[in-house]
Structure formats: structure tokens, C-alpha cells
Amino acid sequence: MKKFLSLLITFITLFSTFLNSANTSYANSDQPSIPAEAAVLMDYETGTVLYDKNGNEKVYPASTTKAWTAYLVLKYKPNLSEKITITKDPTTEGSSMYLKVGECFTARELLEALLIHSSNDVAVVLAEYVSGSVEEFVKLMNEEAKSIGAKNTHFNNPHGLPDENHYTTAYDMALMARECMSNSIFREIVKMKSVSFPATEVYPFERYFVNTNKFLTSNEKINYRGKDIDIKYDIVDGIKTGYTDDAGRCLLSSAVKNDMRLISAVFKSNGNDLYLSSRTILDYGFENYNKSTIITKEEHSGNKRVLFTKQKELIYEPEFSYKVLLKNGTPSSTYSVKTKLDKIKLPVKKGDKVGTLEVYNGKELETTIDLVATNNLNSIFGPIVENKLIRTILKICIVAFVSIFIMLLIIRNKNKKKRKKNIFNKKRR
């Protein structure tokens, strides 16, 4: 009996400890729980991370890779009307457009097939189109990823098919998604609900593809906050899905609400839990944070009079308005600014950097914003003064003239003193 009571007391103690521990963990956590294994929520404008669950752990990106592939095509081959002819069989396993030798598409059309249908064969064609070979394009992918701070990513192909050396993190993919969404053409394509291609001589069937992103197209339901609601979510405007057995379900999302754009990167999920996780953290961001504009371009525009110019003055403004992200209920800090103009070198073109605006949070320098010209500024002497060689020659001539003038003054003063001395000596005699 005593043994039984002892065991019972021990069990009650352990159970109470467990409950207290669970309650403490719940009370101290202001971030929602999601079924996905890794996720990051990032503010598009500031890059601030609002939610992080295993954001720096290694994951496989699967077809979310194609977002980065598309962005690099747009960056290095911006002429989207250029025709691309299929000259060799690009057959690749998995999702495909089933391109045939002899077919011809514009770069824009292939980008649509890449991002909307997630076509692996298109990824290969576009990689070769940009860099000449898949291997060279992969080098470019890795270099560009590192340049924006995605330091824990290594790509080994342009489509995301399984490869042990093809990996990333939720944080890195959020960074890349943010960069992708800075391109207006990319934004146009990833929000398209479907795309179709007419039959060709070698492929006698119409190709019609629906966007793989259920946030844009699906009539399916998820149980969210105790209710069955549509997966389709009107505030979402892209960007890319992914799936392999090793990667699980993956999704990069962009959503706009309350004058904010948020980027979510969700990895290693199952089924429609992918959309449950993505919506949960997106709503968490919109419901708990707000944007505060600290510096507006209009308030801190200015002008400076510049002599010997046709326009007479330089007009400038900050390159962008500066906003900070605040958690609801957090008071905005006291900010101040200092304007520092560079030495003006003619000619100045509209958009040229002409100085910096230092933004201080209290006494601490928080950031600097380039000041840019909003007008052209040209010398009244035209190309003569604006030519670098001629300016150098003129400077040398001016320096020489001033030097000679000073020497003449010195000689004149010496002669003057000498004459006075001679006159004085004559009078003494």
C-alpha cells in the first residue's frame, strides 16, 4: 500500500511539473505553432524576420529553386520577346512541358511555363539560354545567392530535382523570394492562375497549365482556427511551390495587406498542412505588426545653388522613404536626420547620387539613405568644361596663371622696395 501511494504521489508530481512546463512554454511563446518543420516570415520592404522556426536548418528546396532560376533569366536576359528554339532534346524527369526539338517559344512564354507549371525541361533550356550550359548557370545561381546574403545555400541544378548537394534554408529562400519579387515581370507571372500554349507542328496538342500554387486557384478547404475555409487566399499574389520525397511540401508565398508585403518560406510540410502553415504565419505577421514611415522623400527633398550652371540649382531627394516595422503597441522611437551633400561634379544627371541622409534613432546612427538628383545639372560652358581632359588643362592653366600673377606681385613689391631704398640713399647724400 505504501509503495502504491509513493508511486501515485510521484506520478502526480511529475504530471503537475509537465503541465506547469507546458503552460510556461505556451505563455512565453507569442509565435503560433505550425505543423511544417521549417519556416520564416519576412517583411518584404525592410527584410525584418517576423517569424522563425528552424529557419537556418538545412532543407531541400525542390521546385522553389525555379523562382531563383527565373529571376536570373530576367536579370541577365531581359529581352523577353527573344525567340528560343529547342535544338536538342531537353527531356527531364518529373513535371515537364514536354518540349520537342524544333519548337520555338519566347523567353517570356518559357518563364510562364517554368513558374506556373513548374516545368523541369524548361529550367534546363533557360539555364543553357543564359549561361551556355547548366554547369555555368549553376555557378551563377550560387554566386548571386551569396551576393544577397544566402550563405547556407548550394544549388546543383536549375530545377530542384533531388540532389544531396542541392540544399538551402528557409531563411535563405525567403531572402531569394524577396529579391525575386523586386522584379515587376516576375510579380506579373507568379500571380497568373493559368497559361496555355497552342499546338505546334511537332506537338499537335494545346498545352494548358493551372498554377500549382493552391493559394491562387484551389477550391479545396483547410481547417483554420476551428473553421473550414478555402485554401484560396485573395491577399496572396505568388510565388512558387515545390515537392520531392526528401524535401516534402514547400511553398514560397507573397501576400499584401495593410500597406505591407510579407514573404513566407515554408518547408518540409505534408499535404495541405503546407497552406495551413503558410496562412498561419502570414496572418500572424499582418495581425501583429504595422509599418511606420519615418522618412518621406517629400519632407527631406532640398536644393542647392550651383554657380555657372544652366539650371542654377541642384534639386535632390532621398532615394526612398524610410519605414520601420513595429510590433503593435510598440511606440515609435525619436528619429532625427543629417543631410550630407557631396562635392558637386558637373555634369549631374537625374538619378545620380549627390549625398547621403543619415538617419539617427536617438543618438545611434540607424541607417543611411542616398540622396539623388531629381534634375539634370549642366555647366553654362557646355561640353568644354564637362570634358575631363579639357577640365584638367583648364585647371593647369588657371594654376599657372595664378602662380605667375603671384610671382609678378612679389617681383613688383621687391622692385618697389628697391626704388624706395635708392631714393632714401640719394637723400642722405
Do 263 and 173 contact (CB within 8 A), yes or no?
Answer: no
Which residues, in sequence order, are CB contacts of 319 under 8 Å at separation 6+? 353, 369, 370, 371, 372
Do 254 and 262 contact (CB within 8 A), yes or no?
Answer: yes
Cβ atoms < 10 Å from Cβ of 296: 14
Closest Cα to residue 45, out of 263, 240, 239?
263
Q: Please name the residue that has the C-alpha cell 522618412.
A: 295
Catalytic-role residue among 95, 96, 118, 269: 118
33 classed as catalytic: no
Alpha-carbon gap, residue 98 to 88, rounded angstroms:
12
191 classed as catalytic: no
Q: What is the DSSP string of 142-206?
A: HHHHHHTT-TT-B-SSSS--S-TT-BB-HHHHHHHHHHHTTSHHHHHHHT-SEEEE---SSS-S-
Tell me, rounded to whole angstroms, the distance of Cα 178 from its chain centroid: 4
Alpha-carbon gap, residue 343 to 25, rounded angstroms:
57
Catalytic-role residue among 66, 191, 214, 240: 66
Query: Which residues are paired to 359 by β-bridges?
Result: 337, 367
Active site residues: 63, 66, 118
